[in-house]
Amino acid sequence: MWLEDVLLGALSDGVNKPTLILLNVVLTACALTLLGLLYAVGGSSPDLLLHLGAVLLLAVGLTASINWLVIQTGTTAVEEQRKAIFGEGDAREKPE
């Protein structure tokens, strides 16, 4: 299950693809929300524009740095993470 894979990625070493995808979706939604707030505020408050712009830059920088780190280190397979958490004898695995 996809959400279980995301949870495994959050609890074990490394990052798997479902966790990375969800993280990118959440951070992109955050950046789009901040961009919408910048547009909605317009020129009404220069201090608020500066603050929203700074937080938007932080969100974009965080997204870029996380993706750069994952490109450098690579992703981990969900099966490896499952074995690391549950051990070799995972009860959900079907015997061959």
Query: pLDDT by residue (tens digit) across 9-32?
Result: 888 888 899 999 999 999 999 999
pLDDT per position as a tens digit, 32-88: 999 999 999 887 888 899 999 999 999 999 999 999 999 999 898 999 988 988 887
Q: Is residue 18 part of a domain?
A: no
Q: Is residue 65 part of a domain?
A: yes
N-term to C-term CA, the chain: 21
Residue-level pLDDT at 89: 59
Q: Is residue 20 part of a domain?
A: no
> CB 41: neighbour CB atoms within 10 A?
14
- What range defines the domain where residue 68 resides? 26-84
Domains: count for the chain: 1
Phi, psi of 77 (to 5 degrees): -70, 145
Taking the model in full, what pTM does it have? 0.78
The residue behind tokens 């499952």 is 82
- Residue 94: is its pLDDT beyond 70? no
